[in-house]
Amino acid sequence: MVRMTVGRNGSCRLAATAIVLALSAWGCGGGRDSAAQALDRALKDSNTTKLTVAKFSGTVTVDGQPPGIKVIDKHRLVIMLYDPKNPPTDGHPVLFADCMPEPNDGFFEFSSYERGDGIPPGSYIALFLDLPTSWAGGYKGADLFKNRFNDPDRNEKEPQFKVELTAPGRTDWQFNLVTQDNAPPPTPGPKSILKPTSKK
- Name beta bridge partners: 122: 165
Evaluate whether the domain defined by 55-177 bears CATH number 2.60.40.
yes
Q: What is the pLDDT of residue 29?
A: 43
- Name beta bridge partners: 129: 78
Q: What is the pLDDT of residue 188?
A: 94
pLDDT tens for 19-45 read 443 333 334 344 556 777 777 787 778
- 115 residue type, one letter: R
Element (H, E) at 172: strand 169-177
Cβ neighbours of 9 (radius 10 Å) = 12
Q: What is the pLDDT of residue 48?
A: 78
Quick check: 60 and 175 in contact, CB under 8 A?
Answer: yes
pTM of the model: 0.79
Q: Is the pLDDT of residue 179 over 60?
A: yes
Q: Is the pLDDT of residue 154 over 50?
A: yes
